[in-house]
Amino acid sequence: MIYNPGDPEWIGSRDHSVWTRMNAMGLEFMGPCYPNGRKAFNQRDWLAPDSRNVPTYYTTGEKTPESASQQLDYAFASRGFHNEVSVRAMNEVEEWGPSDHCRLLIEVGASGGK
């Protein structure tokens, strides 16, 4: 599942339908999005040029957090409550952790939100 709204082919795609359904259920997409996480050192060709995606996963071919180029982890929050939530990908190489997925830092309340 890829968030890629700047790509003309994304509208009407299966991935786009996931975001449409989440919105219909009253869930707001919270991120993470750049600058709340580093961008990939090598951006995927199929991402829109202005994509704010941040890598949260590395493939077996990529092997390391440094070479990660795909975002597969996302956070959503209930509409209304979402104003109190902020999301950051902990995807800097030194903070990634032992998994092939980085951690997401989700803050709720006074320190969260926009």
Q: Is residue 5 part of a domain?
A: no
Domain that holds residue 26: 14-108
Per-residue pLDDT tens for 65-102?
999 999 999 999 999 999 999 999 999 999 999 999 99
Determine, yes or no, domain membership for 21.
yes
Q: Which residue has the tokens 């890598």?
A: 55
Q: Find tokens 């104003």 and name the residue.
A: 83
Taking a C-beta distance cutoff of 8 angstroms, is the pair 66, 72 a contact?
no
Residue 2 maps to a domain: no
Strand 85-90 vs strand 103-108: parallel, antiparallel, or unpaired? antiparallel
Domain presence at residue 77: yes
Considering the domain boundaries, does residue 1 fall inside one? no
**What is the rounded CA–CA span in Å between residue 85 and residue 107?**
6
What per-residue confidence (pLDDT) applies to 110?
62
- Assigned domain for 54 exists: yes
DSSP state of 39: P
pLDDT of 41-59, one tens digit each?
Answer: 998 888 988 999 999 999 9
The pLDDT assigned to 90 comes to 99
What are the helix and strand counts (H, E) for the chain? 1, 4
Under the banding of pLDDT at 50, 70 and 90, the label for residue 11 is confident
- pTM metric for this prediction: 0.88
pLDDT given for residue 12 in this prediction = 87
